[in-house]
């Protein structure tokens, strides 16, 4: 989750002024005003009420929809699709707190920062959520330099949270929520970054349900540096002997899905001897994509903002995860979130899942809080999200 944003140009890619939509582009949906036919070899296929897509070799289906707010309502039985043909590998929530108190290092556990509430995690696991991205601060773990030994107390509290999640049969994503920075400065020493990751991976080398996230939301950095930092993290993790775990890499420009295919194209060059790289992207649905306003642009914006990323993943034979997404507590956002998740599942050959932003015990009345039982996001979206488990 970012504190400031860069407006993206990709939001207009699906708006379609061309006569025909390109491969995998949007071609229909409620209030859609762009192209409704597809380039040669592709057919406009109904995905949901808000989104139809140009897919190769598919039989045509209606793209003119009824105005009912019922998800699959159409004017004829023939137009009723089978939604969500795929299944997500990872579906759950972010867990924020370990990175809180960013102005106070190292800080005090329970005063400046906190780790997830195990009871809340258990509640979510019992409902079928299987993946939790746990934020932490590199400055608290490696207090005296990236290559130095870890603080025993912070590591113990963090490890206890990770082990609780994985011992319950879920996946835990280790999320250094640092934006490619350390004590506020852009990390430029890739060798030190590799050492940090070798040291951290060593702590979890025997836990196959751990997932390594190289860093949260690189931004306003050299694009080549983002590539090199990701590769250094991969190299360090594998050098530690972590062979089974997946590695989630992130991109520049806040790892935004809506700008990915014009900003982070060089990350296709990343290599992993175990071939377990997953490209993690984030996407919010307010006007500037920052996730700071409760209003979504419109009911179709969810699918529209990730269609370019979907095409990039497929064209490059890569797999992706939407590591952060959320919507405000209103009907327009609920439709947009459904459209987003329907698009991801319709393209589950490349999208492996999605994680809501965010759970954590200190959110209070934050509009996206997914902390059971009374978080605003949990109350408004839990029933919707459980449809995708």
For helices 331-346 and 376-385, the axis angle rounded to 10 degrees is 40
DSSP letter, residue 242:
-
Of 193, 175, 195, the C-alpha closest to 185 is 193
DSSP track, 170-233: -EEEEEE-STTEETTEE---HHHHHHHHHHHHHHTTT-TTEEEE--S---SS-HHHHHHHHHHH
Q: How far apart are CA 6 and CA 261, in angstroms?
A: 15
Could you give the residue numbers annotated as active site?
217, 324
First to last CA, the chain: 23
Backbone angles phi, psi at 198, to 5 degrees: -65, -45
Strands 171-176 and 181-182: unpaired
Q: How far apart are CA 289 and CA 293, in angstroms?
A: 9
Place of tokens 């746990």: 134
Q: How many residues does the chain have?
A: 389
Backbone angles phi, psi at 154, to 5 degrees: -65, -45
Enter the tokens of residue 12.
Answer: 């207009």
Q: Give the largest CA-CA distance in the chain.
A: 66
Of 23, 68, 38, 75, the C-alpha closest to 50 is 68
DSSP letter, residue 149:
P
Distances (CA, A) of 317 to 77, 87, 154, 312, 344: 35, 18, 38, 8, 16
Strand partners, 325: 283, 356
Strand partners, 278: 248
Element of type H or E holding 42: strand 42-48
């Amino acid at each position: 989750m970012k504190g400031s944003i860069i407006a993206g140009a990709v939001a207009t890619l699906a708006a379609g002024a061309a006569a025909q939509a390109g491969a995998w582009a949007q071609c229909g949906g409620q209030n859609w005003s762009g192209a409704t036919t597809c380039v040669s070899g592709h057919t406009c296929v109904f995905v949901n009420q808000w989104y139809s897509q140009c897919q190769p070799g598919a039989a045509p289906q209606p793209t003119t929809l009824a105005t009912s707010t019922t998800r699959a309502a159409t004017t004829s039985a023939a137009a009723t699709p089978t939604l969500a043909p795929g299944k997500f590998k990872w579906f759950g929530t972010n867990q924020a707190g370990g990175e809180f108190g960013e102005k106070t290092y190292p800080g005090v556990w329970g005063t400046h920062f906190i780790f997830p509430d195990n009871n809340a995690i258990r509640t979510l696991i019992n409902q079928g959520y299987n993946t939790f991205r746990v934020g932490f601060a590199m400055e608290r773990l490696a207090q005296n330099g990236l290559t130095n030994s870890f603080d025993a107390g912070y590591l113990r509290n963090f490890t206890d949270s990770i082990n609780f999640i994985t011992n319950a049969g879920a996946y835990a994503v280790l999320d250094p929520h640092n934006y490619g920075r350390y004590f506020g400065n852009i990390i430029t020493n890739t060798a030190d970054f590799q050492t940090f990751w070798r040291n951290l991976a060593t702590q979890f080398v025997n836990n196959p349900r751990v997932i390594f996230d190289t860093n949260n939301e690189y931004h306003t950095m050299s694009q080549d540096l983002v590539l090199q930092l990701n590769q250094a993290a991969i190299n360090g993790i594998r050098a530690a002997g972590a062979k089974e775990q997946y590695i989630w890499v992130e991109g520049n420009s806040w790892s935004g899905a809506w700008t990915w295919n014009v900003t982070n194209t060089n990350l296709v060059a990343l290599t992993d001897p175990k071939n377990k790289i997953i490209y993690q992207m984030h996407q919010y649905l307010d006007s500037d994509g920052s996730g700071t306003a409760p209003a979504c642009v419109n009911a179709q914006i969810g699918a529209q903002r990730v269609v370019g990323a979907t095409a990039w993943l497929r064209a490059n034979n890569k797999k992706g995860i939407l590591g952060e997404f959320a919507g405000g507590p209103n009907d327009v956002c609920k439709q947009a979130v459904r459209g987003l998740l329907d698009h991801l599942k319709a393209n589950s050959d490349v999208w492996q899942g999605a994680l809501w932003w965010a759970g954590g015990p200190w959110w209070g009345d934050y509009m996206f809080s997914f902390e059971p039982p009374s978080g605003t996001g949990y109350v408004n979206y839990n029933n919707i999200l459980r449809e995708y488990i």
